[in-house]
């Protein structure tokens, strides 16, 4: 078979993982080919057209801080923005944007097509070409062959995918697109382990048939937000969302028709997402709940399609009509696209390194839902890392990795490659043990220097980072060097603010630690110039939570030794003193560091102690 063209990197799939992977590889100098079943799949949002939310907004901000694209495009195509969890601490504040799905697709497609080092082609990949334990290229259903020394699998939910709606079950991809029916066989033939997962998406309904006056309006925030640290803060609220609820009548109809649901009829073989259950699953699992909330959200500004968030189902269309029409505001609803479940194959991520390369097939990287995750944001984060490391591999450079202590991206990937996943993985703030340090607001301060070091952060972004860093440092110095004495005027102001008067001198930073006082109050009182919102937020959080932040930093320092202790090739079967389960798990997963070994299920602290003794004895033998 004749090779049509040779590239440095080939990315299979152009969803959110594929786009970030291709752009990262190309911007690091790799001549990159992106192949997709359909050009209309590029950055498609087959589920909710929204970016961000708890845990996920942290990933978007980190992708942006490293030089990725998702945050910029999310800002450009947002039609509503809201900051979630404001009633809780800053560690879990989460930005969420309702996006115009068609505008998002068009914008990302344009960026891909106009990236100098990227070629975009519509074709169906049926086979990986692998020789001597390394990837060499791809073959398509039309007999095309393209060569490359690095390949990124970003196949999403298209591998051997099947759609389920009631009794109907047919091969198909999201939103009516073609599935990939042969590539999975090629992966299995190469010795790659696949698993079968399931996800689903709710009904799309016609806005013209809704009675929104019977629902609760959900407006966007009046203050201005951005995902990208480069974007202008401005009003992006161009559309409303609405809140409504199911009721007991809704639940009765669902219960009466459970035998028609593929999940309860035994037709589902894939494992579904625990954190995004179908409405029939909610009704069964939470039988005591009288109602479940639903958000009715626009798919875009140029369409009447509305997304009924919280109403994922695979019940027959007639049943979908029946229960939807019991819900306030949806009594006359017309369905434009029925809800469905989708089963698909994906990789067992335990086969991957922390750099997302396959452990035994050189040059094969994998990212996104192909690794068993759910969500656009998780996909983009993995795609960025896979694309970076595909380019670095070709240059003979060490893989770029992030630790759990540095980022949510590091937490995401470490969870996948160390613990694996038995269901579609979703990022949540609770997964990070360092979430007070790893806030969405300080992602640029944490990661932009790393993006600069690897070559993804351009001069404009670097200058913006330096300006913020300088403003934060200067603002902190001013707060710590400004001393207030217990004068009558000072104490009168403090009493007006509802806080205790001074008995001795105190710095402005010490006053800012008081819960009753914020930076804007001090600024107005002391006659200081206003600082940008992001700088002010960083100062307030870092000073008010300084004690807790210091404790987490100390914890990270103690853990760092394990994270930087690289494990050599070890015959774990012969390692005495550790449990049989630990030997089996360590031998199967071959962790790269002692820290990673400590997080493998079945490996106890006692096993790690034995492993540390073994490493020390090995070091002493080598020194002798």
Q: Which CATH number characterizes residue 514's domain?
A: 1.10.10.1800
Higher pLDDT, 110 or 604: 110
265 and 128 within one domain: yes
On the question of pLDDT at 136 being above 90, the answer is yes
- Do the domain assignments include residue 114? yes
Residues 220 and 147 in one domain: yes
Of 208-212, 219-223, 299-303, 330-334, the one with minimum mean pLDDT is: 219-223
The H-or-E segment that residue 151 falls in is: strand 150-153
| pLDDT at res. 238 | 95
Beta bridge partners of 151: 10, 364
What CATH number has the domain bearing residue 576?
1.10.150.570
CA dihedral 90, 402, 465, 474 (to 10 degrees): 60
| Same domain as 573, residue 539 | no
Closest alpha carbon to 528 in 474, 594, 602: 474
Nearest to 367 by CA among 347, 394, 397: 347
pLDDT of 303 > 90? The answer is yes
CB 175 within 8 A of CB 36: no
pTM, to two decimals:
0.93
What pLDDT is stored for residue 30 in this prediction?
98
- Summarize the confidence of residues 438-464 as an average pLDDT: 96
Assigned domain for 557 exists? no
Structural domain that includes position 544:
459-551
Residue 176: pLDDT band (50, 70, 90) is confident
Does any domain span residue 139? yes
CB-side exposure of 519: number of CA atoms within 13 Å?
A: 23
How many CB atoms lie under 10 A from the CB of residue 270?
Answer: 20
Query: Is the per-residue pLDDT at 268 higher than 80?
Result: no
Buried b (16+ CB within 10 A) or exposed e, 572-605: beebeebeeebbebbeebbbbbbbbbbbbeebee
Tokens of 200: 């689903």
- The residue out of 521, 551, 581 marking a domain boundary is 551
Residues 241 and 347 in one domain: yes
Residue 559 falls inside a structural domain: no
Model pLDDT for residues 380-392, shown as the tens digit of each residue: 999 999 999 999 9
Confidence class of residue 622 from pLDDT cuts 50, 70 and 90? confident
* Residue 538 and residue 571 share a domain: no
Least confident of 134-148, 310-324, 328-342, 577-591: 577-591
**Residue 584 vs residue 303, higher pLDDT:** 303
Whether residues 613 and 544 share a domain: the answer is no
- The pair of structure tokens assigned to 463 is 């200058």
Mean pLDDT (whole number) for 218-223: 92
Cα distances (Å, whole numbers) of residue 492 to 481, 497, 524, 525, 535 = 22, 9, 15, 12, 28
pLDDT of residue 129: 97
Which of 500, 518, 551 terminates a domain? The answer is: 551
In a domain, 61, yes or no: yes
The helix (H) or strand (E) run that includes residue 32 is: strand 32-36
Q: Is residue 452 a part of any domain in this protein?
A: no
Q: Which segments within 220-360 are labelled E, that is strand? A: 241-245, 293-298, 305-312, 335-337, 340-347
Residue 129's H or E segment, with its range, is strand 125-131
C-alpha closest to that of 148 among 397, 454, 394: 394
pLDDT for residue 1: 66
Q: Where are the beta strands (DSSP E) in 434-585?
A: 483-484, 506-507
Same domain? For 241 and 341 the reply is yes
- The whole-number pLDDT of residue 361 equals 98
Q: What is the rounded distance in angstroms from the CA atom of residue 258 to the CA atom of residue 281?
A: 9
265 pLDDT band, cuts 50/70/90, is confident
CATH number at residue 427: 3.50.50.60
According to the model, what pLDDT value does residue 624 have?
62
With respect to residue 143, please indicate whether it lies within any of the assigned structural domains.
yes
Residue ending a domain, among 525, 551, 577, is 551
Question: pLDDT-derived band of residue 468, with 50, 70 and 90 as boundaries?
Answer: very high
Task: Give yes or no for a contact between 352 and 415, defined as CB atoms under 8 angstroms apart.
Answer: no
Query: Are residue 63 and residue 163 in the same domain, yes or no?
Result: yes
pLDDT band of 523, cuts 50, 70, 90: very high
Q: Decide if 219 contacts 277 (C-beta within 8 A).
A: no
Interhelix angle 376-394/56-65, rounded to 10 degrees, is 30
What value does the mean pLDDT of the chain take? Answer: 93
Domain count, the chain: 3
Sign of the alpha-carbon dihedral angle for 223, 225, 231, 236: negative
Query: Domain check: are 112 and 253 in the same one?
Result: yes
Q: Kindly give the interhelix angle for 546-564 and 533-544, rounded to the nearest 10 degrees.
A: 80
- What is the per-residue pLDDT for 388? 98
Write the CB contacts of 164 (distance below 8 Å, at least 6 apart in sequence): 262, 267, 268, 314, 340, 341, 342, 343
Does 353 lie in the same domain as 249?
yes
Same domain, 479 and 579: no
Give the residue-averaged pLDDT of 580-598: 86
Q: What percent of the chain has pLDDT over 90?
A: 79
Arithmetic mean of pLDDT, 584-588: 86
Check the CA dihedral 575-576-578-580 and report its sign: positive
Position 615 scores a pLDDT of 83
Cα(94)–Cα(381) distance, integer angstroms: 16
- How many secondary structure helices (H) and strands (E) does the chain include? 20, 23
d(CA 110, CA 113): 5
Residue 280 lies in a domain: yes
Query: Is 358 exposed, middle or buried, given 0-12, 13-18 or 19+ CB atoms closer than 10 A?
Result: buried
Strand order in the sheet with 134-140: 3-6, 145-147, 134-140, 125-131
Q: Are residues 314 and 383 in the same domain?
A: yes
Closest CA to 211 of 244, 250, 248: 244
């Amino acid at each position: 078979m004749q090779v049509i063209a040779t590239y440095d990197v080939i990315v299979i799939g152009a969803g959110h993982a594929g786009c970030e992977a291709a752009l990262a590889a190309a911007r690091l100098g790799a001549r990159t080919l992106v192949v997709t079943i359909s050009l209309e799949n590029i950055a498609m949002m087959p589920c909710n057209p929204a970016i961000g939310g708890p845990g996920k907004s942290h990933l978007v901000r980190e992708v942006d801080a490293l030089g990725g694209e998702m945050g910029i495009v999310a800002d450009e195509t947002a039609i509503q923005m809201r900051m979630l969890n404001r009633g809780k601490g800053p560690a879990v504040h989460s930005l969420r944007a309702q996006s115009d799905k068609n505008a998002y697709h068009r914008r990302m497609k344009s960026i891909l097509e106009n990236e100098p080092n990227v070629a975009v082609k519509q074709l169906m990949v049926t086979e990986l070409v692998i020789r001597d334990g390394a990837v060499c290229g791809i073959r398509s259903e039309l007999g095309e062959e393209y060569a490359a020394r690095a390949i990124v699998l970003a196949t999403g939910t298209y591998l051997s995918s099947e759609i389920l709606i009631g009794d109907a079950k047919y091969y198909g991809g999201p939103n009516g697109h073609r599935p990939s029916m042969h590539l999975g066989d090629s992966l299995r033939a190469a010795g790659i382990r696949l698993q079968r997962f399931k996800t689903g998406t709710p009904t799309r309904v016609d806005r013209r048939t809704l009675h929104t006056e019977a629902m609760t309006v959900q407006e966007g925030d009046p203050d201005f937000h951005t995902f990208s640290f480069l974007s202008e803060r401005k009003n992006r609220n161009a559309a409303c969302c609405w809140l409504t609820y199911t009721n007991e009548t809704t639940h009765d109809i669902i219960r009466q028709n459970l035998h028609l649901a593929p999940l309860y009829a035994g037709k589902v073989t894939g494992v579904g997402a625990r954190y995004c259950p179908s409405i029939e699953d909610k009704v069964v699992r939470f039988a005591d709940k009288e109602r479940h909330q639903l958000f009715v959200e626009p798919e875009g500004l140029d369409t009447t399609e509305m997304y009924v968030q919280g109403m994922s189902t695979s019940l027959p269309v007639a049943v979908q009509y029946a229960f939807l029409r019991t819900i306030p505001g949806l009594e006359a609803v017309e369905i434009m696209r029925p809800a469905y479940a989708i089963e698909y194959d994906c990789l067992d991520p335990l086969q991957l390194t922390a750099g997302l390369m396959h452990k035994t097939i050189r040059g094969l990287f994998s990212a996104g839902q192909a690794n068993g995750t759910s969500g656009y944001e998780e996909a983009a984060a993995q795609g960025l890392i896979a694309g970076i490391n595909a380019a670095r591999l070709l240059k003979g450079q060490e893989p770029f990795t992030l630790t759990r202590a540095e980022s949510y991206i590091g937490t995401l990937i470490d969870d996948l490659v160390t613990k694996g996943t038995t269901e579609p993985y979703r990022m949540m703030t609770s997964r990070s043990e360092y979430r007070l340090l790893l806030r969405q607001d300080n992602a640029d301060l944490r990661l932009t220097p790393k993006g600069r070091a690897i070559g993804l952060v351009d001069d404009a972004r670097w200058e913006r980072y330096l300006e913020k860093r300088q403003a934060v440092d200067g603002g902190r110095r001013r707060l710590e060097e400004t001393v207030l004495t217990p004068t009558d005027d000072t104490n009168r102001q403090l009493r007006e603010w509802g806080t205790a008067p001074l008995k001795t001198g105190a710095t402005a930073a010490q006053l800012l630690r008081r819960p009753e006082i914020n930076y804007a109050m001090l600024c107005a009182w002391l006659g200081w110039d206003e600082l940008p919102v992001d700088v002010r937020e960083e100062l307030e959080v870092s000073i008010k939570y300084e004690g807790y932040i210091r404790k987490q930093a100390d914890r990270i320092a103690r853990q760092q030794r394990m994270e930087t202790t690289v494990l050599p090739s070890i015959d774990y079967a012969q390692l005495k003193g550790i449990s049989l389960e630990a030997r089996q798990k360590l031998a199967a997963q071959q962790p790269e560091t002692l820290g990673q070994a400590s997080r493998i299920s079945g490996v106890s602290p006692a096993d790690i102690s034995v492993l540390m003794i073994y490493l020390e004895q090995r070091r002493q033998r080598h020194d002798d």
